[in-house]
Amino acid sequence: MTTLDASAFTRTGLAFPAGFRWGTATAAYQIEGAAALHGRTPSIWDTFSHTPGRVLNGDTGDTAADHYHRMAEDVALLRGLGVSDYRFSVAWPRVQPAGRGPADRRGLDFYGRLVDALLEAGIRPVATLYHWDLPQELEDLGGWPVRETAERFAEYAGLVAAELGDRVASWTTFNEPWCSAFLGYASGVHAPGRTEPEAALRAAHHFNLAHGLGTSALRAVLPPSAEVSLTLNLHALRPLTRSDADLDAVRRIDAVGNRIFLDPVFHGRLPEDLVRDTAGVTDWSFVRDGDLAAAAEPIDWLGVNYYSPTVVAAAGAGPGTAPAGPSPWVGAEEHVRFLPAPGPRTAMDWPVDAGGLHELLVRLRDELPGVPLLITENGAAYGDYADPEGEVHDPDRIGYLSGHLASVHRAIEDGADVRGYFVWSLLDNFEWAYGYSKRFGLVHVDFATQRRTPKDSARWYADVIARGGLPA
């Protein structure tokens, strides 16, 4: 394993505030492997990835980056980076295999060992309770469109917090519930692969409810000093023109992409325009008295995941496309077309545009005053490979991360209360429906041998952390 040497920087450039949290992030199904070991039962992603045609090349997360067996090596990589924080997720089917009932001691012990190793390395554990891996048994009972799943989540949250709450002081209920609800239940490109628009809206509501119930369950167990948060992949939206029609297209996507979570969680209400836009799909009668108040349980900070902006225009003649196949944009699909943003692209064909992150952070500064923000995911996939000398050179990733960190710094100067930045991701991993074809990691993983090789970007990030900011 290559040592991460932090070379000296001159003390110029962009310095971040004292106490700024530098980290990386991962997700259980993407890295752990050991999918059928020590009592773990299938999640919806196990079922989805084993269904022919769902994942590129037929890849599955059965082995992934084998983090379950190589956890100590991966913590050593984190120590080498010098991160203050590590954001990982707990696999629900590993600690509560049926999605209900008692916890499995073996699953809890694995996360206990991980937390202890992080603390010994001087790294703050940031535990995400749900990163898309619903126990298949709960999906068989209806999944997130069913209210009971929210109740089961709260029980699960309490179980994990009771075990780890003496050592984990920073908790996140959900990662990107928009993806789980709308890619999982509307477009069907993510697990569980359903294409039911009304079910997607039900799922979104039950994620909000589960977040509130889970937050209350965590507060009941954790010490008062513990942090509870939520992570959203908010869409940085831009209209093609300033016409009323294009601005209305932005409004529609903002309603079903952003405010469907922001309004219930921070204001205890549903967006009225979303209810109107989706009236042909549902009457929202599944929202019961008290649900929105429960969803608005106060949190300590909001996690923001950002990769690229979204450009939209009104449907009709002109450039751009409507969503191909079943659309995740329930209530907006017939009214909006999407256009590619200009500029370079990543291996995901996502535009590289750090300005969108600044726009998003300034919006949150204005709309959620008093709510601290953490960038909980930001990163890029490129066609990385090990050269004959065993080195992995990834200058495009360094450029991407540097530009986005500069954008975060500018947002802080503009008054956004941003407390930290976590790179996605520590390791190359199972990239959901793309299988192993896309590499986001600071550390290259040879999936045949599981050899870890820190890329140039890992050494660059270690330098940034060591100096507390960007070089000139």
Q: Which residues are catalytic?
A: 176, 377
For residues 150 and 144, what is the distance between their CA atoms, to the nearest angstrom? 7
Alpha helix locations (H) across 183-330?
184-185, 197-221, 244-254, 260-267, 272-277, 291-295
What Rg do the C-alpha atoms of the chain give, in angstroms? 21
- Provide the residue type at 453 as one letter: T
Q: Length of the chain, please? A: 472
Q: DSSP secondary-structure letter at 434?
A: G
Per the CB < 8 A criterion, the answer to whether 129 and 174 are in contact is yes
- Asked if residue 111 lies in contact with residue 45, where contact means CB atoms within 8 angstroms, the answer is no
Q: How many CB atoms lie within 10 A of CB 280?
A: 11
Class of residue 320 by CB neighbours under 10 A (exposed 0-12, middle 13-18, buried 19+): middle
Name the residue among 212, 211, 182 with its Cα closest to residue 197. Answer: 182
Which distant-in-sequence residues (6+ apart) come within 8 Å of 290 by Cβ?
none
Contact 348, 341 (CB under 8 A): no
Cβ count near 249 (within 10 Å):
25
How far is it, in rounded angstroms, from Cα 78 to Cα 68?
16
